[in-house]
Structure 1
């Protein structure tokens, strides 16, 4: 009896380590991520044929500085201009980039509190997300645009959850179904589906609908969301997480099917991506990534 009640420091250390492991596993979604690795191994051959299959991507342009700018956030591909667009918030600007990461021009933003995302929706038409005010603004950009004033454009405010700097972080647009997908950064991670904005047909009444998919969001084994991208060829959604150093590909049912790690040594990266903020794909399947303060990445699928 005395032996059973005697103090055993190793037992307490083991219990402490198990407790810490459980907390970290829950915090970093390690258990869900490990289960996905098992599923990916089991179904890889089947999923690969019907997806982008991010595991096959390798970096082609690695951490290229983008001109004299900082605080880049979000990324979208414009097929009409064959350009990429991003936003900065200090100062508030839209920037246009070439497909190899060259700065082509910048456009001043007025009346935007904290622009965090931009998304191409139609020729010359984009949506900008203002994080702190949880506001979406439809803007027009052409060759002559040098300034965009939020007061001049159609807007939609969504008072979902608390404000602050954990609001809207990413946008993606499904043109076929006219769905605008809006990512809430964290606490909790959410992806909202907005139907009816931007209002594209002035001849029809505004019919606004906001949907959520809690089951899909629960499958996102990431700590935060930084950016979204919708791939029209597959109907799949890409979700970028800075804190988890990961891009996840979700199929049409909202289930993860492939991932791209942003850690050093993965997919040819010399160093880990420091603070991933934007992801976009083009019509050829190339994947573009930007990271604060002003780093540009291009990934291409490796030849079979």
Structure 2
């Protein structure tokens, strides 16, 4: 029966690829969906089994410009940034503002990532700067001039720069997503620099095979899952979260469109994603919406 359906679906996918064009990556996405249906991945997070638990909750006190998200396992809270009025904002796990810290000299802050106790990396999208800051309980403001910085300056393209971050604490790797034109994921080793006794050495790597497999139109955020070693890639334009295994192969997806994952409405502009130790997913969308997704019990 499945083989018969395969012969029926394949011509439709070919037509879809021609009509949609490479820009929309419709053929690649359709082909992945078909393969996932035909032979579901056994090892992975299983994003398709997640369901929305909190949908489109407005973050009170913010009217616009919410961008990025990271989970702090020490504080058991979330952090995000805004760029028009540059701030680092701490959120509770139910989407309430706990703290606001003004940012000075950060240019166009677009992403934030927890990299260790009281330690975070913030991106300056336009200048392609990575800025490592330390946040204590009594920190009143953060000045980029006092922070460790790394400027990559690779393929600059206006505001289509560094849009997402993810950190592998075991491998000491910082993943940096370039939004589009071209859409890339860089792997940065040696930043932040945590060992003063060792020389400062930064290596920037690319995995072109992995990036070519990404059947999305842009990248808005990244999340590294320490349990599996898999990377989650969030795309606003494709309304999708994609799980990539250690070799960069897509394994599962979570749709952000109405009718999928229990959503009553499409997520309007997904900007940031984070995951806690239990595997719960948190997502923010401009202008100020907060979402929680939890895996359904098997």
Superposition TM-score, scaled by structure 1 size: 0.91
> Cα distance, 1:20 vs. partner?
9.7
Residue 25, structure 1, aligned to residue 18, structure 2: no
Rounded Cα–Cα distance in structure 2 between residues aligned with 1:104 and 1:255? 38
Rounded Cα–Cα distance in structure 1 between residues aligned with 2:16 and 2:71? 42
Q: Which structure has the larger Rg?
A: 1
Structure 2 SS opposite 1:267 = coil
Inter-CA distance 94–266: structure 2 relative to 1 (3 Å threshold): same
Structure 2 SS opposite 1:211 = strand
Equivalence for 2:216: 222
Unaligned 5+ runs, structure 2: 1-13
Inter-CA distance 137–270: structure 2 relative to 1 (3 Å threshold): same
1:82-116 superposed Cα distances (whole Å, 9 cap, x missing partner): 00000001200000000111111111000011000
What is the total number of aligned residue pairs between the two structures?
284
Rounded Cα–Cα distance in structure 2 between residues aligned with 1:71 and 1:276? 11
Equivalence for 1:287: 281
Residue 193, structure 1, aligned to residue 187, structure 2: yes
Rounded Cα–Cα distance in structure 2 between residues aligned with 1:33 and 1:205? 44
Equivalence for 1:67: 60
1:129-156 superposed Cα distances (whole Å, 9 cap, x missing partner): 1000100000001211121000001000
Structure 1 SS opposite 2:261 = helix
Q: Which is further off, 169-178 or 32-41? A: 32-41
Residue 303, structure 1, aligned to residue 297, structure 2: yes
Q: Which is further off, 282-291 or 25-34? A: 25-34
Superposed CA RMSD in Å reads: 1.3
Match of 1:107 among 101, 105, 108: 101
Inter-CA distance 267–19: structure 2 relative to 1 (3 Å threshold): closer
Unaligned 5+ runs, structure 1: 1-17
> Cα distance, 1:162 vs. partner?
2.0
Superposition TM-score, scaled by structure 2 size: 0.93
